[in-house]
Amino acid sequence: MTDTYQLIKDCLKGKAAAQSTLYEQFAPVMLGICYRYTKSRADAEDVLQEGFVKVFRYLHQFEGRGELGGWIRRIMVTTAINYLKRNAQYQSELSYTDMALHPVSTDNPEITVDAKELAELIRQLPPGYQTIFNLHAVEGYTHVDIGKMLGINEGTSRSQYARARALLISWLDKQSLTQKKTSYANK
Amino acid sequence: MPTNDFEKQVQQKMEELKFVPSEAVWPAVEKQIRQRKERRRLLLWWWLLPFLAGGSIYYYANRDANKTNKANADNVAKVHDAAIKNANTINNAPTTHATGEANAQKLNADSAVSDKSMAIRLYNRSPLYTRIYNNKGAAQIVRAGNRTTTDATDNNDAQNGVAKKQLAVKDKNKAGVGEETLMDIFDADAALRPAVVGPLGKMIFTASPAAPPFDKGASKKPARAKKKMEWVVSANTGISGISSGFSPLVKSTAALDAAPANAFQSNNGVSAGAAAGQNYIATRPSDIKPGFSFGAGLSLRRYINPTFSLEAGLLYSYYSSSMTIGKKVDSVAAVRRGASSVSGYYSNYSVLPSANNTRYQNRYHYIEIPIRVEKQLGLQSPLSVQGGITIGQLLGSNALQYDISKNIYYKDNSVFNKTQLTLSAGMDIRLWRYKTISLEIGPRLQYGLTNFFDKNVYGNRHLLFAGLETRIFFPKK
């Protein structure tokens, strides 16, 4: 904590070495977050870059109440959402239209795929589903919060999340089945 | 298995997700941070700009005033010599105007002014107003008619000198003032000009608050059109004066409309014709020079439509002016006006170079409420025009007033109209904008609608201000 405090202090003084250290410390995890929200690595790096500029710009506002990582993470998520809203490529697909409530799946399959494979599956979701799934399942935002962030109804968020979850579970099941078949074949 | 186990598994998996960013990312981040720092530095310089501009205006205004003063001082010396000559001529010249001579002698006796030719200050302005102080100390302004007069310090012959004295006495008698000393008759402007130790300078400023942590993706729209309400931090700088015209902003007030050094009174009653080197005290008060001043404040702007807005806020303004005075006088009987708050007496400055001459800074502190309307000249135009009114309240002042009868300066804030209503107009150009924060700078002109001083004492005198104003706008959350 003291190291982090000192690092922040040095960053605020404008020390390039400290800024570089902070970036190196958090960039890999943050790129993982950006990666989940976007469809390409280049886009993810764009978000990462924009996010880190904000981190250094508003570092003086970090009050040290929570983890610095958590604070940076929130900035990255917000930056990613803004990026999706701005970017024409995502804009056309980011329609959170109201739809009939999809029954919430109670399936809780065990996830056998590794982190990167799961991230790839999440990225294959339609952008609207992908964003809501990330915000709710991974970041832990409530549907009320998501509704406010995206400017949609809470119900729409719930509905889209349910569909995204169901879709992802079905893909995981397929993947799991394929893995089993492969493992049997190997035997 | 609990219902949200799937989400927990997803969270755990995603915590493990890490990628090494490509090498190009950090240099790009670093570059943007540095650029931002540069912009902030630049912004600080923009803040200083109005002060630099105001300082320059003040410097040049003062430089001109100094030149004028120097010229005046030269004139003073010349006039002084001429006065002595005239006095001698008058004394030796035979005259048929017995009454006039008698009056002139009486005047001389009353006023203890040895220079007869300078007995009266005459102005060729029309209408002519003459200020006469009666014995009760109350100031009266008496219209002396439409006579055309000339300065008594002209190269007049003895008869002219005497005739003018007669005229002065006639005027005085017409006014019904009765027995007055020569120095009691004084042109309103000239007598009061010294007391018009008005605020003669002014300015403004700005500060940038922290921007919102996240832009909400709306940077493509014009910043002004987007936000209904904006905070405005402003700072201004410039010069200001108090007069019925605009000239005091570029010239020292007294030099503007008074012939230089019209009358003298020797120090401690010593004759003007005394030995060379005598430290002559001017009966004409010091010129008032425009002073550096500034203001800073915060206001709130509301857009009525994308190009039209209303603004109101709170502003602190500091005005100042400077003049030359003599040494502090320890004991002086009450000044003519007999104001209860009178304190701090100073003698008038010495016409000749003297160690007792000092520069005195008149300071005025105001708290103001500006109310403005602003029209942007087109949605994308960086230009806008504005106008409005400002209500100001004098918080305090150390300004000196001049008492013609005693030839001294004294402090008396009761002569001020403490509440001021001012008209303002200006133009702005947007120099810088980043997302929803923008910086504008432009000239500003203000004119006081209310009299700066008690009208019965000094007549119509209004506050004037010309300067530059810098404003920074940022959205109200």
- What one-letter code names the amino acid at B378? G
Last residue of a domain, one of B157, B190, B223: B190
Query: Does the distance separating the beta carbons of B18 and A20 come in below 8 Å?
Result: no
CATH number of this structure's domain A2-91, picked from the four choices 1.10.1740.10, 3.90.230.10, 1.10.3720.10, 1.10.10.10: 1.10.1740.10
Flag whether residue B27 sits within 8 Å of chain A, measured between CB atoms: no
> Which pLDDT belongs to residue B291?
81
Distance CA(A112)–CA(A153), nearest Å, equals 33
Distance CA(B361)–CA(B288), nearest Å, equals 10
B151 and B267 together in one domain: no
B135 and B261 together in one domain: no
Contact present, B290 and B241 (Cβ < 8 Å): yes
B181 and B211 together in one domain: no
B168 and B281 together in one domain: no
Provide the CATH topology of domain A115-186: Arc Repressor Mutant, subunit A (1.10.10)
A151: burial class by Cβ within 10 Å (0-12, 13-18, 19+)?
A: exposed
Interface ipTM: 0.82
Query: Does the distance separating the beta carbons of B214 and A53 come in below 8 Å?
Result: no
Is residue B433 left, alpha or beta, with left meaning phi > 0 and alpha meaning psi from -120 to 50?
Answer: beta
> B226-249 burial, b if ≥16 CB within 10 A, otherwise e?
bbeebbbbbbbbbbbbbbeeeebb
Alpha carbon of A106: minimum distance to chain B alpha carbons (Å): 6
Assigned domain for B15 exists: no
List the structure tokens of B353: 């170079």
Query: Does the distance separating the beta carbons of B10 and A111 come in below 8 Å?
Result: yes
Assigned domain for B34 exists: no
Give CA separation, B399 vs B98, B194, B414, in Å.
Answer: 46, 11, 11
Name the domain count of chain B: 2
Q: 73-112 in A: which are within 8 Å (CB) of B?
A: 75, 78-79, 82, 85-86, 106-111
List the structure tokens of B362: 């008149």
Alpha carbon of A112: minimum distance to chain B alpha carbons (Å): 10
- What one-letter code names the amino acid at B419? T
A–B CB contacts, 8 A cutoff, strictly below: 111
β-pairing, B264-265 vs B281-282, is antiparallel
Unique residue bearing structure tokens 């502190």: B365
Distance CA(B448)–CA(A144), nearest Å, equals 55
B315 and B240 together in one domain: yes
Q: 183-212 in B: which are within 8 Å (CB) of A?
A: 210
Assigned domain for B4 exists: no
Helix (H, G, I), strand (E, B) or coil at A169: helix
Query: Does the distance separating the beta carbons of A109 and B213 come in below 8 Å?
Result: no
B108 and B220 together in one domain: no
Distance CA(A168)–CA(A121), nearest Å, equals 7
Other C-beta atoms closer than 10 Å to the C-beta of B425 total 14
Last residue of a domain, one of B190, B214, B230: B190
List the structure tokens of B182: 């020569």
Mutate to test the interface with B, among A45, A71, A107, A133 (most CBs of B within 10 A): A45
β-pairing, B343-348 vs B400-403, is unpaired
B364: burial class by Cβ within 10 Å (0-12, 13-18, 19+)?
A: buried
B317 and B422 together in one domain: yes
Assigned domain for B26 exists: no
pLDDT in 10s for each residue of chain B, 477 residues: 445 788 888 888 898 888 999 999 999 999 888 887 777 666 666 666 666 766 776 666 666 555 555 555 455 445 445 544 554 544 444 443 444 444 444 444 444 333 433 333 333 333 333 333 333 333 333 333 333 333 333 444 444 444 444 444 444 444 443 333 333 333 333 333 333 343 433 333 333 333 334 444 434 444 444 457 889 999 999 988 777 655 555 555 543 333 233 333 333 333 333 333 445 555 667 777 778 889 999 999 998 888 889 999 999 999 888 888 877 776 555 554 444 445 566 776 666 666 778 888 888 899 999 999 999 888 778 899 999 999 999 999 888 877 777 777 877 788 888 999 999 999 999 888 877 888 999 999 888 888 888 877 777 788 888 899 999 998 877
Distance CA(B216)–CA(B379), nearest Å, equals 21
Unique residue bearing structure tokens 């902070």: A22
B168 and B294 together in one domain: no
- Helix spans in B21-97 (H): 25-92
- Nearest beta carbon to residue A82 from set B7, B29, B217: B217
Which chain A residues touch B26 with a CB distance below 8 Å? 20, 23-24, 27
- Kindly list the domain boundaries of chain A, sorted by start residue: 2-91, 115-186
Assigned domain for B11 exists: no
List the structure tokens of B257: 């409309």
Query: Does the distance separating the beta carbons of B2 and A108 come in below 8 Å?
Result: yes
Q: 18-47 in A: which are within 8 Å (CB) of B?
A: 19-20, 23-24, 27-29, 31-33, 35-36, 41, 44-45
Last residue of a domain, one of B190, B215, B248: B190
Assigned domain for B201 exists: yes
B151 and B248 together in one domain: no
Q: Tell me: the pLDDT tens digits for A151-162?
A: 888 888 998 899
DSSP label of B129:
E
List the structure tokens of B345: 């007496």
Q: Which residues does A139 contact at the CB level (< 8 Å), separation at least 6?
A: A73, A77
Query: Which residue range(s) make up the domain with B428?
Result: 40-70+197-475
Which chain A residues touch B30 with a CB distance below 8 Å? 16, 19-20
Q: Angle of helix A41-57 relative to helix A68-86, nearest 10 degrees? A: 120
Assigned domain for B19 exists: no
B134: burial class by Cβ within 10 Å (0-12, 13-18, 19+)?
A: middle
CATH assignment at residue B424: 2.40.160.20
- What one-letter code names the amino acid at A73? R
Flag whether residue A48 sits within 8 Å of chain B, measured between CB atoms: yes
